[in-house]
Structure 1
Amino acid sequence: MWDSYLYFESESTTKAFLQQTYEECCIPKANVYAFQNASKFIYYIKQARQYYSSASHSDILVRPLLLYYGMVSLLKAYVLTRDPDYPSNTRVLQHGVTSRKMKKSYYSFAEDEVRVQKEGLLPYLYSFLNKDGLNEKYRLQNLLAVIPELQPAYQRLYKQITMTSVSLSSHRNFEQLCTIFYLPEFVLDEVHLTYDAFIHYLNRYNKGKASFAASVIEAPRGIIRLEWHHPENIHVTENGDGFENTLFTHDYKGNFSFKIKMDKAHTIPEVVTHYMIMYVLGMLCRYETERWGEIVFSFMSEDMYMIQEFLTLSARKFPNLVYNLLLKERYIFRIE
């Protein structure tokens, strides 16, 4: 995956990429901005690569901090593609989030909270990704609940199901030009809706050209059968934005999941979710060194299981998420 970022470490290709991106955003003097920002963009990417490389060889005592600053460098590169004058002031260089510096005597990572500030990198980044506003604060367990790869660990640790796998039909329906997919029937009970009402519920969260429809063919017992329609793509796997719906997400292997539990934490982009969680972990190992050591090395903490799962996943997935944002496509890097 990081080899793909080499495309952005060449001045000529970076200039061309930035100019095209600025032109697509209708930014005046796109060629001038591309020339001015090429070196800055390249150094953001190179710095991020070094942070992630160092994190992969570092002890867990300091790894979250390295991963967090690697995230910051990647996000600054993305923001630069949307705002050629970034940073226009020192306020946008702040973290944009905060957490309680001094933790309580009894500390639970899942119950900790991250608060969103009015200014800084996070709210500024979010303004380019989502029209909906951010909450003032988020509980970490709710953020962990919306990362698909963590769902097995989440269910095991917290005894809750917040996502379920989507089964896609490989068959392409050329008569109706749609994708057939299946969900477990229990999702209807979870959202307290009938089958027809569930179709309307799905369509409320569309954010593109796609739409959902009921299937005329009855599904086997225990599952429900649905149709996904798109004017330009027959199969959802061919669409760069997937289902184009807030209720659906996908893991880094391209497998789709449906979000059963819906709240504000479920509507934010996954890059924002990773950023918030990693910020708290970075602050723990930076300012709460003794407590962080107890979490890492104590057999008494159940937090370490989820933290380790998240650190491993985020180191692999976050650069992939930003790469997708930069190129406006859904790229899947498979490990052979």
Structure 2
Amino acid sequence: MIFIRFFTALWQDAVRYQSAAHAQKYLSHQYSKKGFDNPQAQSYTNCYPFMHYLELGRTYYEQAALAPMAIQPNLLFYGMSQILKACLLTVDPAFPGSTSVMAHGLSTRRRKKQHYEFIDDEVKVQKNGLFPHFCYHLFQMKRMEGHKFSMLYLLQRIPELQPLFSTMKGESAQMAVETIDEGAVLRHHSSLLDELHMTSGHYARFLSSCFKQNIVVEEHSRDRAVDIKGYTIQHPYYAAPLQFDIRHEQWYLPKLRTHFTQLPEVAVHYMLLYNLSMIARYETSWWMDVLHTHAGEDFPYISEFLYVTSVKMPIYVLSFLKEGEPSA
């Protein structure tokens, strides 16, 4: 019941968007700020779809909180899809524009191999659909078509799952980062340089390329600390490759070079939920076997992920909308 009360409080802050007058004013502000033509007319057209996407998304998430785990992936995937559509209406007044945008935008192997394990599976980005559309319009990520992502890679990108990786695999894929001087300096243990096989100079150039900012790295031999200067921390929604653990309010950086990408955590959750929802629908025998026998190592990762995403994605998306509110 504690979770249900927390979830209700989380969504209560978004009740403002269930007023047509406020939703229209909010969208008009967004369209004017971004320089779209006829913001008033566009906002009148879109205020009700915007409200309906959020209302339906909330319904899916609320039902997922009450539902058995067997159907949670389906409810959470469709809930996330709906609230992302609301976000898209704030930056793309023509959304959806065509039916092709309403496809999932991802594909996976329908028939799973013998001895299948979820963490070894992968998804592939398609040319059209909701996934590449929101990656482009919300995060300015282009040329996603054909990219493949493994479930292990995606799970390793979620900071709340790192304790589980430490227990199950003996090591995590991320390192904690301390913020100093109100975020002006990021500090972590120098062992990360060893993990990445980099000198401090190489690391500075590497981070400058990743963050697209002029990064300065200072290494302190006495306490084996590394300071990162020159990076302005953004909202966690946009901060990748920095990741934010909402449980402990802790920032993390990857320990693997291949994880230093600007792939946002919102996209990570969408891909994982897409694949899990497909498995729950079409690989029923495997899915029910995992849920009831807990065979292999998949169940702990799936269970923990479903809990984290059920809370974290609404927080991220609703805070994204709240940041777009006009100043008082």
Q: TM-score, normalised by structure 1?
A: 0.86
Question: SS at 2:67's partner residue?
Answer: coil
Mapped partners of 2:113, 2:199: distance in 1? 44
Mapped partners of 2:286, 2:272: distance in 1? 17
The structural deviation recorded for 1:262 is 2.7
The structural deviation recorded for 1:88 is 1.3
Amino acid in structure 2 at the alignment position of 1:131: M
Question: SS at 1:323's partner residue?
Answer: helix
**More moved, 38-47 vs 153-162:** 153-162
State yes or no: 1:67 paired with 2:73.
Answer: no
Amino acid in structure 1 at the alignment position of 2:154: L
**More moved, 96-105 vs 244-253:** 244-253
2:215 aligned residue (208, 212, 215): 212
Q: Which residue of 2 aligns with 1:150?
A: 161
Are 2:159 and 2:244, in contact at CA under 8 Å, matched by a contact in 1?
yes
**More moved, 111-120 vs 183-192:** 183-192
The structural deviation recorded for 1:197 is 2.5
State yes or no: 1:322 paired with 2:322.
Answer: no
Are 2:210 and 2:262, in contact at CA under 8 Å, matched by a contact in 1?
no
Are 1:95 and 1:121, in contact at CA under 8 Å, matched by a contact in 2?
yes
The structural deviation recorded for 1:319 is 1.0
Q: Which residue of 2 aligns with 1:221?
A: 223
Are 2:187 and 2:228, in contact at CA under 8 Å, matched by a contact in 1?
yes
State yes or no: 1:58 paired with 2:67.
Answer: yes
1:111 aligned residue (120, 127, 130): 120
1:250 aligned residue (244, 248, 266): 244
Q: Which residue of 2 aligns with 1:263?
A: 258
1:24-173 equivalence runs, <5 A: 24-128=33-137, 129-134=139-144, 135-169=146-180, 171=181
**CA deviation string 1:207-226 (max 9, x = no partner):** 4xx643244x8453332234
Q: Which residue of 2 aligns with 1:8?
A: 17
The structural deviation recorded for 1:246 is 3.7
Amino acid in structure 2 at the alignment position of 1:143: L
Question: SS at 1:205's partner residue?
Answer: helix
Question: SS at 1:85's partner residue?
Answer: coil
Are 1:181 and 1:225, in contact at CA under 8 Å, matched by a contact in 2?
yes
Q: Which residue of 1 aligns with 2:287?
A: 292
The structural deviation recorded for 1:158 is 3.2
Amino acid in structure 2 at the alignment position of 1:199: A
Q: Which residue of 1 aligns with 2:188?
A: 183
* Number of matched pairs: 312
Distance 1:78 1:311, change over 3 A: same
Unaligned runs of 5+ in 1: 173-177, 231-235, 330-336
Mapped partners of 1:245, 1:55: distance in 2? 28
Q: TM-score, normalised by structure 2?
A: 0.88
Mapped partners of 2:142, 2:189: distance in 1? 29
Amino acid in structure 2 at the alignment position of 1:67: L
The structural deviation recorded for 1:287 is 1.1
Query: Which structure: greater helix fraction?
Result: 2
State yes or no: 1:310 paired with 2:321.
Answer: no
Mapped partners of 1:327, 1:196: distance in 2? 39
**CA deviation string 1:292-334 (max 9, x = no partner):** 10011113231000000000000000111212333447xxxxx
The structural deviation recorded for 1:154 is 2.1
Distance 1:43 1:184, change over 3 A: same
The structural deviation recorded for 1:258 is 1.0
Question: SS at 1:61's partner residue?
Answer: helix
Mapped partners of 1:229, 1:56: distance in 2? 37
Are 2:237 and 2:265, in contact at CA under 8 Å, matched by a contact in 1?
no
The structural deviation recorded for 1:244 is 7.2
Distance 1:284 1:245, change over 3 A: closer
Are 2:210 and 2:261, in contact at CA under 8 Å, matched by a contact in 1?
no
The structural deviation recorded for 1:270 is 0.8
**CA deviation string 1:177-235 (max 9, x = no partner):** x723321111111222212332222222224xx643244x84533322343465xxxxx
Unaligned runs of 5+ in 2: 1-9
**More moved, 16-25 vs 273-282:** 16-25
Distance 1:163 1:203, change over 3 A: same
Q: Which residue of 1 aligns with 2:201?
A: 196
Amino acid in structure 1 at the alignment position of 2:127: K
